[in-house]
Amino acid sequence: MPDNPLGSDTHDLREGPDLHPALLPFVPLVGVWQGQGQVGYPTIEGHRYRQRVSFGHDGRPFLAYESRAVLLGPDGAVLRQSAREVGWWRAGQGDEFEVLLAHPTGIVEVYAGVATGPTTWELSTDVVARTHTAKEVTANHRLYGIVDGALLYAVDMAAVGQPLQPHLSAQLERVSG
């Protein structure tokens, strides 16, 4: 009997269930990634941050996604917990896919995405929903790519009356998977 009879996600393609064939465009993402990035926005003080991102699967046609970040001070010391998000990357038709993300700040996003190459993915929000206490976010655009073995990404955001513009970027190295 397995340790978890309900099953669990694997972040290593050499272990656990076989990857669903519909997820082949995401093979390079599966694993755990960690690194640093930069956050900024006209309404947010700029900071460096450290982040850990995981892409796992349980054999079905979606990837489980989780991200946690901490803000860093000028000396690299952790200032405090920061952004967190969970969700799923769902296979679609051909190179198209969907991403669903939930944030503890009261925001839920649905993205339409396309694999623009074997190691690049582009996503734009189709729907942004929020609780009445969440800040106003109206759109996001994300680019992910693997370059020289590192996962790089950039996020543009339209929020609190500001137009779509750069918000986050990071370079993450694979730590497992």
pLDDT in tens, 63-108: 999 999 999 999 999 999 999 999 999 999 989 999 999 999 999 9
Cα torsion angle, 69, 161, 87, 55, sign: negative
Is residue 14 a part of any domain in this protein? no
| Per-residue pLDDT, 9 | 84
Residue 128 has pLDDT above 50, yes or no: yes
Residue-averaged pLDDT of the chain: 94
Is residue 12 a part of any domain in this protein? no
Residue 5 has pLDDT above 90, yes or no: no
The tally of domains found in the chain comes to 1
Task: Residue 146: give the domain boundaries.
Answer: 21-172
Is residue 9 a part of any domain in this protein? no
Confidence grade of residue 2 (pLDDT, cut at 50, 70, 90): low
Is residue 162 a part of any domain in this protein? yes
Lowest mean pLDDT among 15-19, 75-79, 128-132: 15-19
Is residue 53 a part of any domain in this protein? yes
Cα torsion angle, 144, 138, 90, 16, sign: positive
Is residue 150 a part of any domain in this protein? yes
Residue 143 pairs in a beta bridge with 122, 154
Three-state DSSP string of 164-176: CEEEEEEEEEEEE
- The encoded tokens of residue 47 equal 């900071």
| Per-residue pLDDT, 177 | 74
How far lies 20's CA from each of 25, 34, 122, in Å?
Answer: 11, 25, 21
At 77, which CATH number?
Answer: 2.40.128.20
Is residue 36 a part of any domain in this protein? yes
Is residue 11 a part of any domain in this protein? no
